[in-house]
Amino acid sequence: MRFCGLQMVTISCPQQRAAMETTGNDRYLSTASIWEIAVKLSLKKLTISMRLDKLIETQLLRKQIKISAIYPHNCFTVSQLPFHH
């Protein structure tokens, strides 16, 4: 696991790693990811070196990450997907 951007991800594919590290690519962080990080922190399953709001703010600016919002129609689409968890 690497701390890549703002969330813990496993990047085993060299092409995926290169895409994440290429400065010309757009980077997005979902509000759902921020929520999940907050849940992990509250459950003590994740530790970070600073407050979550400061971490998010710092990394958004430093890594030029854009927030990807979740809208109701996104939730409706997810409700129609086959269950696989």
Q: What is the pTM of this model?
A: 0.66
Residue 2 resides in a domain: no
Report the C-alpha gap between 30 and 13 in whole angstroms.
Answer: 22
What's the pLDDT tens digit per position in 20-46? 777 788 888 999 999 999 999 999 999
% of the chain with per-residue pLDDT over 90? 41
Of residues 5 and 70, more confidence is placed in 70
| Structural contact between residues 33 and 27, judged by C-beta atoms closer than 8 angstroms | no
Domain count, the chain: 1
Q: Which domain holds residue 30?
A: 23-79
**pLDDT greater than 80 at residue 77:** yes
Report the C-alpha gap between 39 and 78 in whole angstroms.
Answer: 20
The mean pLDDT of the chain is 82
Residue 8 resides in a domain: no
